[in-house]
Structure 1
Amino acid sequence: MIKQWAEFSSKELENVKTVVLPIGATEQHGSHLPVGTDHFLVNTVVEELLKKHKYDLDIGILPTINYGKSIEHLSFPGTISISAKTLLNLIYDVGYSLSCQHIDNLIILNGHGGNTGLVESVIFDLKKMYNINAFSISLGALYNTIGEKCSFPHSMHAGYVETSIMMYGYPKFKNLYEKLPQNSTQSKGYDFMKKLNCTSWGWQTEDISKDGFMGSPGKSSAKEGEKIIEKLVQIIFSHLKLIIEENI
C-alpha cells in the first residue's frame, strides 16, 4: 500500500522498504500564485498517486519538506530560503534514520528548481554513506518531456504548467487566478539567458523578470492541469514500480 508515513504504525513500517521524500519550497510566485506553490505541487502529485495507485505498491510517503534553497527569489516578499548546507544536512539526517530501519530505496520527489542540483548530488552521498539506493525525480525535468507549453519559455516559474496544476489541485485560491497575466515582463537578462543555452548562470529573479514570474500563465486552466498531473503521475508511478521490481 502507498500511504503517508505519519499514518503507519511502527509495526506496519517493518514491511516498508521504499520511501518517497517530497521537497518543495516557500517562495514568491508572482501575484497569481501563492508562495507555497512548490510544495503544493508535489503534494498534488502525491495525492493523485495515492488516489490512483494506493494498492499497487508498498511505499511510505514522508512528510513534505516545505522549505528549499530559494536565494534567487529573496528580493520578493514571501520567500523563505534555507542554505544548501541546511537542506543537505536535513536530507542526510533523514537518510541516516531510514538506514537504521533498513530501508532499501529513497526517492526524493523535488518540486523546486533551486533544489535540483543539490538533490541530484546528495543521492550519491546517501548510497555511499548509508547504502541506500537513492533517486531524484524533479518535476521540472518531467515538465520538459510532456509538451511544448510545459517547457521554457512558457513554463519556467509560475508559468503555464505550475499555474494549471495549481488551478486543478487548489481551486480554493480562485481569487488569485481571476486575472492571470498573459506573459511575464522581461528584464534584460531574459534574452541573455536564452542565448546562454546550456551554460548555467547564477541569476536573480529580477535579472530575468520584473514581476516575479517567468512564462505564460494566461492560457492556464484546471482542465489542462488535470491532464498534466495525469501524465506526471503515470511517469512517476512507472519509475517507482521499476525501482521496486528491479530491486538493485
Structure 2
Amino acid sequence: MESLETHSSRRLDHLHWPEAASRLREDRSTLVWPFGALEQHGPQLPLATDALFAERILSLVLESLPDAWPIWALPPQSIGLSPEHRGFPGTLSLSADLLIRLVVEVGEQMADQGVKRLVLFNAHGGQIGLLQTAARELAARAPSMAVLPCFLWSGVPGLKDLIPSMELQNGLHAGLAETSLMLALAPELVGPERPCDGLDSAIPIPEGWSLEGAAPYAWFTADISSSGVVGDTRGADDSLGERLKTTLMAHWISLFSSLMRSDWPPTADARRVRGPSTMHP
C-alpha cells in the first residue's frame, strides 16, 4: 500500500535539520498538515478512512507540484474530534480543547522556525468548525504565519456531476463517495457490505431543519444509523472512485499552485508594514 513514506522529498520529517533550517525560511514556505480521524466508517470501511484520504490525496497532489516549490507535508494527525461516533467500537476522540492546543502549540513552533503558511488539510467533516477556530487562535498567537483551514471535499467543482444529488446532500458519512474513493485508493481495506442506512431517521425533523446545512443540529450516528453509515453505498465502485480521485486532485493541485505562485494571504505582520488601507467606501 502506497503512502507518504515513499515520497520523502515532500515530507518535512524526512529532511535533515540543516536542510529544514534553510528551506523553512524560504519565501512562501508552506507546510500542509493532513488531519483525519480514528472513527467508525460503517462495516465496509476502515477506522482510518479520513486520515488515509487526507494523507493519500495530499501525497498525490504534492507529487504533482514543481520540485522547487517550498511546500512540504507534516505527518498526519490521525486522531481527531469524533464524539458523534461514540458507541461504535474502535472510535477514539480527542477533546476539542486538546485538539485546539495541539494546533496552536505545533503551529507556534513552525512560525518560530520561519514557516510562512500552514494549511490544515482536513478530511473529517466533524471537525471543520473546530479547526477553523483553532486556525483563528493560532493566527492570533503567531501573526507572522498565515493559517488556512481547508476541508478535502469542500468547494470541489464537478462533484455534483459524479454523485446523485440526494446522496450528495444526505450521504453524510461512509456513503457512496467515501466507499468508492476507498475502492480506488486502498481496495484491500474495503469490506463486502454495501449498507443503505441513516437516510430515514427515526427522529422526526421539523421543516427547515436538517442533520447538516443551514439549520443543523448536533447529531450522533447511533441515533440515526445501526450500521454507522449515513448514506447509500450500493452503487459504489472503483470506477467512480477513480473519477472522484481525479476530480479531488485537479481541484487541490489548482488551489496549491495558485497559492504557491502568490504571497497570499497577508499575515498580521505584513498588514502592519503596509499600514491601514487608504481605500474609501
* Superposition TM-score, scaled by structure 1 size: 0.90
Q: Give the gaps of 5 or more residues in structure 2.
A: 1-7, 265-281
- Structure 1 Cα separation of the partners of residues 243 and 70 of structure 2: 26
- Structure 2 Cα separation of the partners of residues 88 and 71 of structure 1: 15
Partner of 2:56: 44
Most deviating of 87-96 and 55-64? 55-64
- Structure 2 Cα separation of the partners of residues 157 and 223 of structure 1: 20
The answer to whether residue 232 in structure 2 is matched with residue 232 in structure 1 is no
1:51-91 Cα deviation digits (max 9, x unpaired): 43363732110000011110010111111011001110110
- Structure 2 Cα separation of the partners of residues 165 and 202 of structure 1: 26
- Structure 2 Cα separation of the partners of residues 90 and 126 of structure 1: 10
What does residue range 1-248 of structure 1 map to in structure 2 within 5 Å? 3-13=10-20, 14-16=22-24, 17-53=29-65, 55=67, 57-131=69-143, 132-142=145-155, 146-147=159-160, 148-149=163-164, 151-153=168-170, 155-174=171-190, 176=191, 178-184=192-198, 186-189=200-203, 192=205, 195-197=208-210, 198-248=214-264
- Structure 2 Cα separation of the partners of residues 220 and 88 of structure 1: 35
Q: How much is the aligned-residue C-alpha RMSD, in angstroms?
A: 2.2
1:93-150 Cα deviation digits (max 9, x unpaired): 1111101111100000001111100111222222221021100110242468621436
- Structure 2 Cα separation of the partners of residues 116 and 6 of structure 1: 25
Computing the radius of gyration over CA atoms, which structure comes out larger, 1 or 2?
2
Amino acid at match of 1:152: Q
Call closer, same or farther: CA 1:224–1:122 in 2, change over 3 Å. same
- Structure 2 Cα separation of the partners of residues 194 and 122 of structure 1: 33
8 Å CA contact retained: 2:209, 2:216: yes
Amino acid at match of 1:79: T
- Structure 2 Cα separation of the partners of residues 20 and 208 of structure 1: 34
8 Å CA contact retained: 1:35, 1:78: yes
8 Å CA contact retained: 2:196, 2:234: yes
Amino acid at match of 1:66: S
Q: Give the gaps of 5 or more residues in structure 1.
A: none
Give the structure with the larger helix fraction. 1
8 Å CA contact retained: 1:185, 1:211: no
Call closer, same or farther: CA 1:206–1:156 in 2, change over 3 Å. same
1:31 positional shift: 0.5
Identical residues among aligned pairs (%)? 26
1:47 positional shift: 2.5
- Structure 1 Cα separation of the partners of residues 83 and 138 of structure 2: 25
Q: Secondary structure at the match of 1:72?
A: helix
1:152 positional shift: 1.9
